[in-house]
Amino acid sequence: MPLRPVAAALLAVAALAVPTAAPVPATADTSPSVTGSPAVATSTATAVLAVAAADPVSGTFQQVTGFGPNPGNLAMYTYTPAALPVGAPLVVALHGCLQNATDYYRDSGWTTLADRYGFAVVFPQTGSANNSLSCFSWFDTGKDARGVGEAESVVEMVAKAEALYGSDARRVFATGLSAGGGMTADLLADYPDVFAGGAVDSGLPAHCATTQGAASGCQNNDQGLTPAQWGDKVRAAYPGYTGPWPRVAIWQGSADTVVRPVNATELRDQWTDVQGVDRRPTSTRSLPGGTSQELYADASGRPAVALFTVSGMGHGLAVHPGSGPDQCGATGAYFLDTICSGYYTAQFWGLDGGTGPTSPGLPAPVGLTATPAGASSITLGWQAVNGAASYRVYRDGTQVGTPGGPSFTDTGLTAGTTYGYTVAAVDATGAVGARSATVTATTSGSAPQCFTASNYDQVLAGRATRSGGLTYALGSGQSMGLWNTFVTHTLRQTGPGYFVLADGLC
């Protein structure tokens, strides 16, 4: 049975609630002071100082008051390493629901990285006066848009930090968890002239929802938008802006049931469209903690978008406590010991002193050809790459073969269908190199059928399945929304028992 509107609205907020990770008191008083900034109780200030004294980092964690206009009623906390040089980068780190700045300071790992690489961190803090669960309001157009509410308050904090610490205005970055991740995406869309890059951790696409009631749908369901439509949400946030756009890292656990993995796909579609880069990754590699990294590079080869998927991880921020160079953070509720996401995000942004990741391994193969071999197969060939131990063949972005030499026949295809292929070389260490240019080929025979019907009828016809009141395309598993007679989709059959969403494409 569908949730009643009130219950759905509460779920939209509660689902992104992140409990405090340890018994450090949360901000005790979030009522506005006469200046409009949230007041902080003495007990909370004492707790902040106690955490700072016990933490192994070498810098200073403190509240900054009077940072400027504060229409979002937020509090500002900062961490600055010892001997921070003028002209250093600045990172803004936003906590999740029912967390506060102290939680994120203590557990996220960003202070360790700030010490190592030399940059300041701003920790914005919201409270129960703004939202009953202390969530950043990523779904409220009165709070998450350019020039208003919480978004404007965060930008005022950036200006204050730049004045206090001499931060480089060209190297300001934003990152956030869950609701903080949703607000991060909004900030990148609202203020591309302020932020050079961002990282959305277990979060949502920019401006996915415009009301609290719509938030739950964003968290749980594919919104059915094209990449261009997602990109338009970003472009509409600051009309007339012509770039450059922020570089965006996306972190997602494959087992997240609070913010479903489809949000990572939508974030990728959104920001590759904004950046004008292909949605097929230019390179992939495996990282620790069961993590896969996909990079999406621009024409110069510089990655503009990165997608990190942590296999088996639920909802939370990926951390990996320890003293190793690729370790950071502390475990707790929704701080999950898998991989130090901040370490790889900092590299992607270039905070380690580099320019960000480049495509690893061997160069892209050249001379790729694709020749139809009947109604169900296509034969590929390309020039051998020196140093290649094997190759990876990708059909429409999905790996379909690992031949040892420069040829491959793709079988089991659908008649009358066009497929796009790329190939990458793999060296003896297993590093996957850059992908080739895409070539297409069309199998002979009739084109696949398309079926438009309600979700209810699609399931009855055997073209979709249902689970927990939701509908999923048979074979591809793409989410189609609620199982009822009111939601209609078009499915295209691309193989035996395999259907994909094709709204507006058939």
- Catalytic positions, written as ranges: 178
Q: Which helix (H) or strand (E) holds 11?
A: helix 5-14
Phi, psi (rounded to 5 degrees) for 52:
-60, -40
> Are the C-beta atoms of residues 99 and 105 closer than 8 Å to each other?
no
User: Residue 155 is which amino acid?
Assistant: V
Q: Where are the alpha helices (DSSP H) in 405-448?
A: none
**For the chain, what is the radius of gyration of the CA atoms?**
24
- Assess contact for 50 and 21: CB atoms under 8 A: no
Strands (E), 258-325: 283-287, 291-297, 303-310, 317-319
The H or E element containing residue 263 is helix 262-275
Longest dimension (CA), the chain: 76
3 state SS of 190: helix
Measured between alpha carbons, how far is 248 from 315 in angstroms, rounded to an integer?
Answer: 19
Whether 421 and 439 have beta carbons less than 8 Å apart is answered as yes
Within 10 Å of residue 446's Cβ, how many Cβ atoms? 11
